[in-house]
A and B are shown apart, each in its own frame.
Chain A
Amino acid sequence: MFVVISYDVPDDKRRTKIHTILKSYGQWMQYSVFECNLDSTEYAKLRSRLAKLIKPAEDSIRLYFLCACCQTKVERIGGEAVRDETVFFV
């Protein structure tokens, strides 16, 4: 599943933590916006890690699911390029 995740967290420390976690599951596209391509196990893991961390009273995380056909309709003007995941070189 393709998930767009955005978050709004006033506390700097918690926000950095959320950022680090999300970086392990997807790609950072904009400030507070990530795009993740996950299977259901990975999604469950991510969700539980985030749920443990945040304070629901102050913070909010929104997860938008895109279906396969909407995913191809995403348009981009400038900004971060989508990572090529077929092969990684150093």
Chain B
Amino acid sequence: MGTLYITQDDSFIGKTDERLTVRANKQTLLDVPLIKVDGVVVLGRATVSPAVVMELLERRIALSFLTSTGRYLGRLEPELTKNIFVRSAQWKATLAVSAEQHAPSEAALHLVRGFVRGKLKNYRNSLLRAQREFPELQLQSAITQLEQAIDPIDRTNTIDSLRGLEGSGSAAYFGCFNQLIRVKAFQFAGRNRRPPTDPVNALLSLGYALLRHDVQSAVNLVGFDPYLGYLHTQRYGRPSLALDLMEEFRPLVVDAIVLSAINRRSLSPEAFVAEPLSGAVSLTSEGLRTFLRLYEQKKQSQFKHPVLQTQCTYQESFEIQARLMSKYLMGETEKYPPLVLK
């Protein structure tokens, strides 16, 4: 099972028998059985035939639209699952304990703690690993800072303070991210986005956009409303729950791919182009293919899930974490265990 990425501009996606065909310039570029496809991502412009829309919805395959630079635009998705109980548990958890005080519910607090702890611990572990492999790096102060942010998580009782801990932890991590890059041609001064103005930020942004596509699918599949989150506040059109659940996967999936792509020289500075006016940096179509392939390989790589003790791929772990979250909200388990890998 694989994801279909369409980067060819003005291509036509059609259906023949039970296959997807992609045509452009009067040529068939790809002909792939639908049973082998579990997601379609369109980067740039494409025409989708009505028959394909119906078929994708019937087969519950999500279709996402991204701009050619990788900014998320929207998606075509099958109906929300009919499991209203999951969604009602999700809503219940946002309600305050009582009307006068604005204290968050115990469940929301617990989940936010989980997301923040998961993210920061993964940051810490990746720094620790880098320190072990390359003892000459100056990572110790950032690791200490991360420890200091992780330590008070379980005693913190407001979501705003947890956001503060997450912020200071991330700042410590991105403060030394440049040291993890071992290729001279690439530099990372700090995180910038919308638009990203250097190659490293461009890769991170693209990676997070792709990750969001996958996590949002998982959240939807389990039956949640992706727009109601706990760590991320409600905002029009923001899939807060997907962003919440994404936190623990950021360092595990995206940062790892970006670093390995650069350090193993899969991507060279020539794979990037900058727009003259805005300074926005993006990948060339060749570079984009390389990065998408790396992302897909990472998603299908296996590891042992620390809670379930079974082998799973990252792709499956998105759904596993969403299911663990639903079990917690429905009161079937005591705790939500974020995915933390050594």
Contacts and interface: CB of A to CB of B under 8 A. Distances in A.
Contacts of A24: 17-19, 33-35
Contacts, number: 58
B22 A90 contact: yes
Contact of A87 (B8, B18, B19, B296): B296
A47 interface: no
Interface in A1-29: 20-21, 23-26
A87 B293 contact: yes
A25 B33 contact: yes
A88 B300 contact: no
A86 B2 contact: yes
A89 interface: yes
A42 interface: yes
B316 interface: no
A85 interface: yes
> What size tier do the contact residues of chain A reach?
10 to 19
Contact of B5 (A20, A38, A42, A88): A88
A86 B297 CA distance: 7
Contacts of B16: 20
Given A85-B1, A89-B292, A26 B33 contact: yes
B21 to A, nearest CB: 10
A21 B4 CA distance: 21
B57 interface: no
A50 to B, nearest CB: 13
A90 B17 contact: no
B147 interface: no
Interface string B1-36: 111111110010000111100101000011111111
B130 interface: no
Contacts of B34: 24
Contacts of B36: 85, 88
12 contacts: A20-B16, A24-B33, A24-B35, A25-B18, A26-B33, A86-B300, A87-B297, A88-B2, A88-B30, A88-B32, A90-B6, A90-B11
Interface of A: 20-21, 23-26, 38, 42, 85-90
